[in-house]
Chain A
């Protein structure tokens, strides 16, 4: 009887002021984070007269869809979009191959010079990107945009961390069965690592979608620009038409935003994995 009365008695809940304060802070922060995006989207649909009203007019009187179509007629924006997509996708594929191979090599093989090579990989992270060397033969080609980004120290590091966890017995068993090394890599190592591979793919794609400095150096022709580069130079010439600028910025943001919202768990896990284990 005593036990039931103890459970029946519900302690009147005290208001937890700490939690309320926490919520107020977190919600205020979230609003500050989202406000610029709301401002961009709202501006993308305004006519030029509505942009600079005080107080801010959040909902335009009439949605102006021209802001999206007019810049497309004046600039090869669709082509920039395709360039970005093509370059980022190719770089991602290349990285998946080179990083998984090198990560496998550093994690599961012992050979003279291995630690030295891995040290070199880590050291390249220190090389500043502002290097003025460019191969003039590759200006305005897709090769010039893709090949130099063909591998990444971060990717190798991530793959190595992942592959250290593969049991050696599994690989040795395959070797005893007469499996060749390339087949072990293709048939066992890659399938086991698919989560890490997908995380790597997301990161490499995102970074290269955003890549700016290198494309700026190796493109002079408008037709080979990637989207961020196109927008930056479009901005400098059409800086005054903010609604159109915001419309284009919105289009450029969309693919990454969608990928992120779909795969955000992988994003954050990959980041966590690389920081904690590193």
Chain B
């Protein structure tokens, strides 16, 4: 009783808090500092190996530069050269064609497979594993195998075309067929990846929706059109971003199978950049091409992000 009364009589202003020296951080400050410190190692790697290189690429794009000589400032000359360069135009078109002819079939096939595996049939796990195997294989190994498959006397000609009486084709040395051949291989390699992503998206759709619609007498096609497709939209957008960003940077199959040939028929953007920098030793021009590729990828990602946001709100 006595003690509480005396305690109550001391005015609050007279309670002395031991002074904290200015260099001692409060607990919450300390915690913030630790949080920041945990991010530092990763950010250092990004700064040195992502941000610095891209900044340096922007910088070099306005220089004449090769490994042997000192960089020399030339302004926008590299970009002007590129715009008049039919080889750059070819490689840009080839890259977009590769994306379209590879990923549109991939998305469609992957979605069909995902729908098929999202049913209650037996052996789903086995099929899923089999379709995913090419995804984990190295692009180099896959390209080497398919180079043999596309050989004039390889699997495709002897096993599939020969029995139906079609003369063997030179898949990788024909102007018209070489891009198709590489796209065919890429479809085979990429389908499993997108199938798994679509499958994840499908499994996220609550089954009550389907049951409710079925009670109302909807047909299978209606279920797909009015429930599956709309609810799958975030997944579809994710797949388009991933497909476009990886497809625009394709390099290994063309490098291993055709070296961009015949006559630039399979020369894609990344291969063109590589050759410009390390075969023709024109680092400035290659840097300028990289800058353009950077903006294309950024634009593609941004457009899809905006689409995603606007669809999400409506």
B positions within 8 Å CB-CB of A: 30-39, 41-43, 45-46, 48-54, 56-57, 60, 113, 116-117, 119, 121, 127-134, 136-149, 151, 153-155, 158-159, 162-163, 188, 192-193, 196-197, 199-201, 204, 235, 238, 245, 248-249, 251-252, 255-256, 269-270, 273-274, 277-278, 283, 286-287, 289-290, 293-294, 297-298, 301
Contacts and interface: CB of A to CB of B under 8 A. Distances in A.
Contact of B294 (A32, A40, A126): A126
A124 B123 CA distance: 40
7 pairs of A and B residues whose beta carbons are closest in the complex: A109-B35, A52-B153, A102-B42, A105-B38, A228-B140, A181-B34, A272-B200
Interface string A198-238: 00000000100110110001000000000011011001000
Interface string A102-145: 10111011111110010011001111111111000000000000
Nearest to A273: B200
A57 to B, nearest CB: 10
Given A19-B121, A131-B290, A185 B38 contact: yes
Contact of A210 (B54, B138, B278): B138
Interface string A256-278: 11001100100110011001101
Interface of A: 19, 22-23, 25-26, 29-30, 32-37, 39-40, 43, 51-56, 97-99, 101-102, 104-106, 108-114, 117, 120-121, 124-133, 147-151, 153, 156, 175, 181-182, 185, 206, 209-210, 212-213, 217, 228-229, 231-232, 235, 239, 242, 245-246, 249, 252-253, 256-257, 260-261, 264, 267-268, 271-272, 275-276, 278
A113 to B, nearest CB: 8
Contact of A181 (B31, B48, B197): B31
9 contacts: A36-B188, A98-B42, A126-B245, A126-B301, A130-B290, A132-B283, A253-B137, A253-B141, A271-B196
A34 B281 CA distance: 41
Contacts of A126: 245, 294, 297-298, 301
A36 B146 contact: yes
A contact patch SS: helix
A235 B253 CA distance: 13
B contact patch SS: helix
Given A26-B127, A133-B53, A150-B49, A275 B158 contact: no
B133 to A, nearest CB: 7
A29 B34 contact: no
A56 B30 CA distance: 70
Contacts of A54: 153, 158, 162
A145 B57 CA distance: 20
A232 B145 CA distance: 11
A46 B263 CA distance: 33
B148 A39 contact: yes
Contact of B204 (A36, A242, A276): A276
Contact of B121 (A22, A32, A36): A22
